Amino acid sequence: MTTDEQIAGGNREEVTRIAGEATWKANEMKSFANVGENPLEVLIVELKHPFCYKVKPETDPEDAASKRYFEHVKEMIGREWLKKMPHSARDGQTGLLKLNLKLQLDGTIAGDDIGFQTVFASEVLVEKAIAAVRDAGPFPPVPLSLGKPFMEIRMSFLYNLPMEPQSGCR
């Protein structure tokens, strides 16, 4: 038997596997750490796909003030993202990254308030997108009309991908 600790979404879970057992998991970001006494030998096969994805409107605020605020934040991040575009993306590397951001009332983003929703991108593309978000701030204060102590924003970063997926995607 092989025992390993899987870390997914910040949750720790101890899992015991039988040697030679094969498992199938949907796409997820995960780390492994051997907590058993025997050596851990794992073969991970990542199946590439033709980027079948849906890009929904990132955030759709209800009131006009929040909508204007969101558009302004998106524009600020977009400017930084274009400045930080890596050479690999300029040379045609593809990638898709969807982030969840939590803006505090004062327009700041705390250290742990950037979360990953979808990551199909190289480490460099991910780092540059996060750097764009961090460097674009601090943002203006969140409109009080929102009525919450923070504003959640979902943003998609597409690197050399069309807004709509290729035909044949399900």
Mean of pLDDT values over 54-62: 64
Contact between 35 and 53 under an 8 Å Cβ cutoff? The reply is no
What phi and psi, each to the nearest 5 degrees, are found at residue 11?
Answer: -95, 140
Structure letter (DSSP) for residue 166: P
Q: Is CATH 3.30.1150.10 the right assignment for the domain spanning 64-159?
A: yes
What is the tens place of the pLDDT at every residue in 112-141?
Answer: 899 988 888 899 999 999 999 999 999 999
What is the tens place of the pLDDT at every residue in 101-110?
Answer: 999 999 999 8
What pTM was estimated for this model as a whole? 0.65
Sole residue written with tokens 């327009």? 107
Confidence of residue 26 (pLDDT cuts 50, 70, 90): low
Instruction: Give the pLDDT score at 45.
Output: 63
Q: Where in the chain is the domain with CATH 3.30.1150.10?
A: 64-159
